[in-house]
Amino acid sequence: MSDCIFCKIIVGEIPNYTIYEDDFALAFLDITPRTKGHTLVIPKVHAENLLELDEKYAEKLLVTVKKTQEKLNDVLKPDGYNVGWNHGKAGGQLVPHLHIHIMPRYNNDGGANMHAIVNNPGDESVEEVYKLFKK
């Protein structure tokens, strides 16, 4: 997409710090890192989110995440990771081109885990929610 900043990164119109790439995806350092080595992995086709991504790219994406983690392990030797993506406005997505955040974690870095993102489960029990899937 012509006005997408991550599509511009893919074609080289905007500079970036690439640390790994293959035919299907690009991994580059986040310009506003939350941890040392905070990396974004993006498919090399425009898709706002995973649901819009061609399955051929979707099935390759996790392999690229793995290869990128191997690279980060080699160079930065973190103690752990948080990996995930923001989907949609409610999920906090700012850039409308799917990007998987890889956040290397270090012992005693002061951060929290994914459970800290939200804690608002609503009034229905898990069983009631499960029943919605059975209708």
Choose, from 46, 87, 99, 101, the residue flagged as catalytic.
99
Shortest spacing between CB 33 and ligand AMP, in angstroms? 8
Q: Is residue 101 among the annotated active site residues? A: no
108 three-class SS: coil
Residues 111/35, Cβ–Cβ less than 8 Å? yes
Q: How many residues bind Zn ion (CB under 5 A)?
A: 6
Cβ nearer to ligand AMP, comparing 84 with 124: 84
Cα atoms found within 13 Å of the Cα of residue 32, Cβ hemisphere only: 1
> Which of the choices Zn ion, ligand AMP, none does residue 31 contact, using the CB cut-off of 5 to 8 A by kind?
ligand AMP
4 three-class SS: coil
Cβ nearer to ligand AMP, comparing 10 with 40: 40
Length reported for the chain: 135
Residues contributing to the site for Zn ion (CB under 5 A): 1, 4, 6-7, 46, 97
Supply the residues annotated as catalytic: 99
